[in-house]
Every structure is written in C-alpha cells, then in structure tokens.
Amino acid sequence: MKSPKTRVIVGLQWGDEGKGKISYLLCRGADAAVRFQGGGNAGHTVLVEGRRLKFNILPAGSAAGARPVIGSGCVIDLSRLLHELKLLRSTNPSVKPVISPSSHIVLNIHRELDAEVEAAREDSIGTTRMGIGPAYSDKCLRLGLRVSDILDPKAAAARLKTLERFHRRSVSEPLSSRAEEIAEYVEDVPAYLSRLVRHGGRVVFEGAQGTLLDIDYGTYPYVTSSNTIAGAACTGSGVPPSFVGEVVGVMKAYTTRVGAGPFPTELGGSDAERIRSAGAEYGTTTGRPRRVGWLDIPALRYACMLNGVSWLAVTKLDILSGMEEVRVCTRYEMDGSELKQMPTESRILERVRPVYEVFRGWKASEEDWRRAAKIGWDELPPTSREYLEAIEEMTGVLVGLVSVGESVGYEVCRTDTSA
Ligand code: IMP
C-alpha cells in the first residue's frame, strides 16, 4: 500500500514515548513537519549519526529536512524558538519555518504564574513550569498576545497594557527585536498546508505530550493544558479532518509518567530502578526522574480508540531486555469487580488495582538488535515477538514499527514508513 500524504503522530501514554525519533523517521522525504499543540514543555530528542538534537518547540521531524511549521494551537516561547532555529540552521542553513500569526506567545508572566499556581494548589500537578497553562488560559480569556500582535507595535502595546493590568505584573521580554527576527516566517498556516496537500505534498503532524495528558480526555487535573489527541492536529493547524491520512500511535514498551497523577501500573523498588536507569528515564525538559511502570492495556485501548490509531510504533523494546519476566496489565479490578475500560476520572483511577498477565522476558545484545533492525521482524527475540503480538491482539492494532535503540537506524519496520 502506498504511504498516505499526511500522517499524525501521537503519544498513547503520558508523553515521552519517543515521538521525536518516530517523527524524524517519518519525516524523511516529507515536505512539512507540523507542531499543532503545546509549547516548550515538550522535549523531542533525535540521535542521528552520533549527534543528539533536542527540540522543545520546533518539530523534531524538521531535523530530517521537512519544513518546520508551528500551528495556531501552539504557545511559543520566542527565545526558545530562536535558539532552536539557530541549532537547526547549523545542519540546514536554508531552513525557513512557517509560523502561524495566531499562535500565542508565552511570556515571563506566564512562567511566574505557573510556579505560583503550583505552589497554591493542594494537588500540585508537577508542571514543567514553562508557563504553558497560564499562556493557554490567557488565550481562552482572550487576553493573550499572539504572534500577529507583536508584528504590529500599536496592537502589541494595547494588548500588553490590558495583560499587565489584569495580572498586576510587567512583561519583561524584548518583544520588538524578537518580532523582527521572526517576521519573515509568519504565514497563514491553513492556507500553506492546504496548498501543499492539494499539490501532493507530504505532511507529518507531530503531536506533543501524550493522550493521557489531554486536557479533556486525560487524567484531569493531572494533565497538560492542550488537546493532545489526533483530532487536535486539525484544530491546531487549521486543516480539515479529510486531510488526515494515517494516525501513528507511539507507545513505549513499558509506561512512564512525569509529574503527579494516578498511574495504576507504577513500579517501585529494583525493577523501577533498573528500567529507569536502562531507559534513561529522566525528563528531557526538566531532568526530573520519570515514574516507571508496566504496560497498561486498558489505558492503551482507550488511547487507540480516541486517536483512531492506524498502526503502532513501539519504542524502547530493548530496555526490557534481560528481565526474567515482563508484566502487562490486561484489566483493572475495583471494589471486587472487574473493569475492562480505563476510568479517566483521577479519583477512580487512583483506586483501581491492575491485574497482570506475565510474559517470558528476552535477552538480546546490541549486536542482536542491530541484526534485527537490518533483517527484520523475524530476527527479533522470539519472546519479544510474543509480547508484541499480545499487544496487537489486546489493542486490535498492528505494530508497524519497533524501535530498539535511541539512534535512528535501529528500528524494525513492518509497514511502509516512507513519506
Ligand atoms: P505542563 O504541560 O507544563 O503544564 O505540565 C502538566 C503535566 O504534563 C505535568 O505532569 C508534566 O510533567 C506533563 N508534561 C508536560 N509536557 C510533557 C512532555 O513532553 N512529556 C511528559 N510529560 C509532560
């Protein structure tokens, strides 16, 4: 089957599934890579030819040569954006991003408020403190400063006056100089993408965070402040649903979570330590140690349903190598009854007890993984294939790609990943 013209990449867990690498792979030969939600809270890393590239606001897929696009659903920290552009130019000097005039700007006010709201809460969320929630709340209050505003000093001054009066604090960002630096890239994103897709261009939409952090469908209030599911690719970049060809669901071979909130399959003790250290499970953006746990099938099924996942990309399978047995939560129990579906109400999810199926572990050396990446699926350790096949059976979705290392090049593809 020919690969579709557009793909939406989403995380199926609580973020950090490895979307950066998958986006890079799917963006080779693509025309545009689009971020449609979130901001500097995301940390998408790609390791190519020994070079580690870390993106917070630009799509990681732009490192593969696709034109970076930032849609109106994003909130932008301009200094971070300019820094990442500089980095990207060191590998691709002619890169020209497309920035939506309707995307909102994250200001120092928002970062300050993020920390203050966290301190005031009874139930701290453990945000990245990048000002994401306050920036989105100003957007909804219709107080936010948009990219288009800073291109017009008069409009910016009026908007800033209200914003500063409302928040009773001042904005301390060099907005006019930053506006000058980005002005040439500001373009109508829906019109650009519409033209591109109608002329046969290939577009990859790169989701940030994960489904269970979605503001509406995640484990509220322990979520981020945007919609992270595939549907948000449309609202956050202004393309119609009919443009979406395929939805690629990225999931880690186990589960992690940063910050507070329910996590039914969370592990403690030596198993957690082992996985955290083997998988380098520390936040890309904040450096915080990630909470670690077994795979959670009810949660994955829920995420597949919400996103309409076409195929799964399973990452970090190699991290579980060497474990005697690997557990998978197949259902929950609560108050003596069985729950097959994931309750998303945090108060309820906190009370469920995971019921596990035990799988035989696998052991493979670096060399074994390299061979599997070269030859294909049948070269994967047989018990790891049993694990993957069980995931397919329990989610009802095909595993199209397995990633077995951080570097680009270490992956087993079962589907056409070309752009
Ligand atoms: P915020 O997005 O900074 O407001 O943080 C809200 C919650 O989402 C916190 O639990 C964060 O740890 C989590 N979060 C935000 N971005 C990411 C991400 O890119 N990966 C994993 N967790 C994230």
Q: What is the pLDDT of residue 105?
A: 98
Q: Which two tokens stand for residue 53?
A: 């590239």
**Model pLDDT, residue 4:** 77
Q: CB of 255 closer than 6 A to ligand 1? A: no
How far is Cα 227 from Cα 207, in angstroms, rounded to an integer? 10
pLDDT one-digit tens code per residue, 254-279: 999 999 999 999 999 998 999 999 99
Question: Exposure of 213 by Cβ count < 10 A (0-12 exposed, 13-18 middle, 19+ buried)?
Answer: buried
Distance CA 32, CA 100 (A): 14
At 341 the pLDDT is 86
Could you give the CA distance from residue 69 to residue 193 in angstroms, rounded to a whole number? 9
What pLDDT is stored for residue 109 in this prediction? 97
258 lines ligand 1 (CB under 6 A): yes
CA of 60 to the centre of ligand 1 (A): 17
CA of 125 to the centre of ligand 1 (A): 9
| The pair of three-digit structure tokens given for residue 159, joined into one six-digit string | 């908007």
pLDDT for the residue numbered 77 = 97
Span 181-185, average pLDDT = 96
Binned at pLDDT 50, 70 and 90, residue 403 comes out as very high
Q: What is the pLDDT of residue 229?
A: 98
Q: Separation of 116 CA from ligand 1 center, angstroms? A: 16
- 15 pocket-lining for ligand 1 (C-beta < 6 Å): yes
- Is residue 188 annotated as part of the catalytic site, yes or no? no
pLDDT at 285 over 80: no
For residues 138 and 163, is the Cβ–Cβ distance under 8 A? yes
Question: Quick check: is 44 catalytic?
Answer: yes
Give residue 97 CA to ligand 1 midpoint distance, Å. Answer: 25
Give yes or no for residue 1 having a pLDDT over 70: no
**pLDDT tens string 329-355:** 999 999 999 997 899 899 999 999 999
Q: What is the 3-state secondary structure (H, E, C) of the chain?
A: CCCCCEEEEEECCCCCCCHHHHHHHHHCCCCEEEECCECCCCCEEEEECCEEEEECCCCHHHHHCCEEEECCCEEECHHHHHHHHHHHHHHCCCCCCEECCCCEECCHHHHHHHHHHHHHCCCCCCCCCCCHHHHHHHHHCCCCCEHHHHCCHHHHHHHHHHHHHHHCCCCCCCHHHHHHHHHHHECCHHHHHHHHHHCCCCEEEECCCCHHHCCCCCCCCCCCCCCCCCCHHHHCCCCCHHHCCEEEEEEECCEEECCCCCCCCECCHHHHHHHHHHCCCECCCCCCECEEECEEHHHHHHHHHHHCCCEEEEECHHHHCCCCEEEEEEEEEECCEEECCCCCCHHHHCCCEEEEEEEECCCCCHHHHHHHHHHCHHHCCHHHHHHHHHHHHHHCCCEEEEECCCECCCEEECCCCCC
What's the pLDDT score for residue 3?
A: 67
Higher pLDDT, 1 or 224: 224
**Cα–Cα distance, 150 to 98 (Å, whole number):** 16
Please check the confidence at residue 2 and state whether its pLDDT lies above 70. no
pLDDT (average), residues 108-121: 97
Distance from C-alpha of 146 to C-alpha of 150, rounded to nearest angstrom = 7
Amino acid, single-letter form, for residue 329: C
Q: Whose CA is nearest to atom 1 of ligand 1?
A: 127
> For position 51, what pLDDT does the model report?
85
Range with the lowest mean pLDDT among 25-34, 190-199, 280-289? Answer: 280-289
19-28, 65-74, 403-412: the lowest-pLDDT one: 403-412
Ligand 1 atom closest to 42 (CA): 19
C-alpha dihedral, 315 to 318 to 321 to 326, nearest 10°: 10
pTM for the model stands at 0.96
Q: Around Cβ 10, how many Cβ atoms within 10 Å?
A: 30
